[in-house]
Amino acid sequence: MGKMKAVMYLDETASDLQRTALAEIFGARFGAMFGSMAGPKAASIEYLRQKDNFSVKIPGTLDAAVEPLTGADGKTPRILHAPMGFADELQVAVSLRHKYEDADLDSWDYEAGRNGFFADFEFTSGS
């Protein structure tokens, strides 16, 4: 922990005030796990959820999709209290695609079939 590089992308329709506030909230909650953080960067973010299949695209930067993994009981396995999770409960998934390129961070193009996770979450103020 504390040695990873990260970048924050926030929807381009957010105001400067919203981007600043979200960066502060995220940094306060998760900043210690990163050695460095670029951004926040304004981006066109395309997010799609169909049942428990998810995809996210940032044109020219990210194209990723996952679908739930099914356990022997027919249910999606779950991980509780993951040390680097952004939610208290993560559901285990398999990647359909994961391509990323950002000059400030890194680039990769992983084949389908790698692990992934998804979770419902909500950020709220501490007041």
pLDDT per position as a tens digit, 20-43: 888 888 777 777 777 777 778 999
- The model carries a pTM of 0.78
d(CA 22, CA 25): 5
More confident residue, 83 or 94: 94
Please report the pLDDT score of residue 97 as a whole number: 95
Note whether 98 and 108 are within 8 A (CB): yes
What residues have CB less than 8 Å from 101, skipping those under 6 apart? Answer: 60, 61, 107
**Contact status, residue 79 vs residue 89, Cβ threshold 8 Å:** yes
pLDDT (0 to 100) of residue 127: 46
* Percent of residues, the chain, with pLDDT higher than 70: 91
Residue with tokens 């285990």: 92
pLDDT (0 to 100) of residue 52:
83
What band does 78 get if pLDDT is binned at 50, 70 and 90? Answer: very high
Torsion of CA 110, 116, 119, 125, to 10 degrees: -60
Query: Which pLDDT belongs to residue 48?
Result: 95
**Is the pLDDT at 106 greater than 60, yes or no?**
yes
C-alpha triplet 51, 108, 25: angle, nearest 5° = 60
